Structure 1
Amino acid sequence: MNAEALTKELARGRAESPPSNPLLALAAEGRVTVDHLRRLVTVERTYHHAELVAYGELLTRFPHPPAAGFLVEVAGVVDEARTALAVVAERLGEPPDLGDDLAAHAFCGYVSWLALHGSQAGMALSLYSDPDGVYYGGAVELVRLLDEYGVTVPEEFTAYYGNGPAPLLTETAAAVVDDGLARGDNPGEALRAARLCDRYMALLWTAAART
């Protein structure tokens, strides 16, 4: 198998058994409040720190091209996102206390596991993002539904969540997957890692839906 086949299989599984998105369910009924949005932003901000640490660890494990350059660029994207999301958080107001909500913290555990145990192909396939993926697909649809129901949100929120993935997270990620497979990575293990990523990322929407 190659990256193209793996991404198609990932998309097929996602289409056949879509991860739940309770926040979109609320949005489809016009029931999303600013408290939900504050919670969404607060949860994602915790992800950014864990991701940056994980990418640093992955860089020590995969210091060769194209993986090394990819990881440096992804870390840069996350760092820029961290800055942008801080502005969104400020516009939304007082952040909620996430407490011990497992869903709010689970993705941080996943990226830590990926950093220590994921293969190169598994890492890159997990980071591969398409417009219909769990994160970007959910984010763009949320913005659309908020607009449809006339929910007023800061323009910074719309700008942050209303855009799809950069080519880095599609084309470059696929090249890193193929390089990992050429180095002997198990395609089945890579697919399992990416499917786990989908399930853990879906918990972002679960955690945000709670108030």
Structure 2
Amino acid sequence: MTESPGTTARELLDEARQELADTDAAIRAHPFLDRLRRGEVSTELLRALAGEQHVIISSDRRSFSQLATRFSSGLGGDFFLGMAEGEGIALGKLGTFADWLGMSSDDFRQYEPRPGAHAYPAYVAWLALNGSRTDVALAFLVNLAAWGSNCGRVAAALREVYAAPEQAVAFFEFFASPPPDFESQALAVIDEGLATGDSPLRARRAARLLQAYELMFWDAFEEPNSTIRKGEG
């Protein structure tokens, strides 16, 4: 990667998406999604998915709140505060998925996270302390498209293959379609950051790392020998 002085937010986003096209494709084509579609993911692993998301969303909510504080004087303040509020909404919707799986609040408290799944929120927390507004806004613009696509596929598989009710898939449906103004707001934050001297190279690096950690999250759910029958759960 090289520095690109004078670049715009849109140009930076296009460059990052092109550079990370292979990683994006690997996330969207992850074997976990195919196994879920075939009804081969165990109840235990679905509970692990809920447990991981509870830890991740709780962490990201605090990270976005920290970013809103760091960048409160510019466009980033409202943008990151909105992201923190979205994580709060997501936590509530995650509860209905957990209820369907028979999980309690004690199950969440006692859940032991998988290391590979938590490189992602650990890096988000690092960005909250060390990243620029451009680093974070670009990384999430690139990342949320693949995450949203996968959430849509998870919701469809849970509904169609595992007979999950609508309230049980609300968490995944929430992330499947980002707010319509998310991209325009993120681009405005990036342009503001670039105008104050944020590094395009560091921002593309942040996007690359976050996307790689997203792939590691899905890799953490490899469980080839455990199955659940269609309609069970």
Q: Report the TM-score range of the alignment, normalised by the length of the smaller protein.
A: 0.7 to 0.9
Equivalent of residue 71 in structure 1, options 64, 80, 95: 80
For residues 4-24 of structure 1, give each alpha carbon's deviation from its aligned partner in whole angstroms, at most 9, with x where no partner exists.
122222322333343442421
Are 2:197 and 1:188 equivalent residues in the alignment?
Answer: no
Structure 1: unaligned runs, 5 residues or longer: none
Shift of 1:129: 5.6
Give the aligned residue type for 1:55: F
Question: Cα deviations across residues 130-163 of structure 1 (Å, max 9, x unaligned)?
Answer: 77x2311111122334455x32223223332133
Question: Secondary structure, in 3 states, of the residue corresponding to 2:112?
Answer: coil
* Residue 136 of structure 1: aligned partner: 148
Match among 6, 9, 14 for residue 12 of structure 2: 6
Q: Partners in 1 of 2:15 and 2:153 — Cα distance? A: 23
Call closer, same or farther: CA 1:77–1:170 in 2, change over 3 Å. same
| Aligned partner letter, 2:169 | T
Give the CA deviation at 1:200.
Answer: 1.4
**Percent identity for Structure 1 against Structure 2:** 29
Alpha-carbon deviation of 1:102? 0.9
Cα distance, 1:85 vs structure 2: 0.9
SS of the aligned residue for 2:20 comes to: helix
Aligned equivalent of 2:188, options 155, 175, 183: 175
CA contact (8 A) 1:126 1:193 kept: yes
Which aligned pairs between 1:18-57 and structure 2 lie closer than 5 A?
18-20=25-27, 21-57=30-66
Q: Is the 8 A contact 1:39 1:207 kept in 2?
A: no
| Matching of residue 154 in structure 1 with residue 165 in structure 2 | yes
**Post-superposition shift, 1:105?**
2.3
How many Å apart are 1:184 and its aligned residue?
Answer: 0.7
Q: TM-score, normalised by structure 2?
A: 0.79
**Structure 1 residues 99 and 160, CA gap change in structure 2 (3 angstroms):** closer
Q: Is residue 75–residue 189 contact of structure 2 (8 Å, CA) maintained in 1?
A: yes
Aligned to 1:60: 69
1:29, CA displacement in angstroms? 3.8
- C-alpha distance in 2, partners of 1:167/1:130? 16
Deviations along 1:86-122, one digit per CA (max 9) or x if unpaired, are: 2221221135865362113222211111111111100
Output the aligned Cα RMSD: 2.4
| Contact 2:134/2:190 (<8 A) preserved | yes
Task: Check the 8 A contact 1:126/1:197 in 2, yes or no.
Answer: yes
Counterpart in 2 of 1:109?
122
User: Deviation string for 1:149-179 (max 9, x for gaps)?
Assistant: x322232233321331113432211111111
2: CA distance between counterparts of 1:147 and 1:86?
Answer: 17
The two structures have a TM-score, normalised by structure 1, of 0.86
Where do 5+ consecutive residues of structure 2 fail to align? 1-6, 227-233
Assess if the C-alpha contact under 8 Å between 1:26 and 1:209 holds in 2.
Answer: no
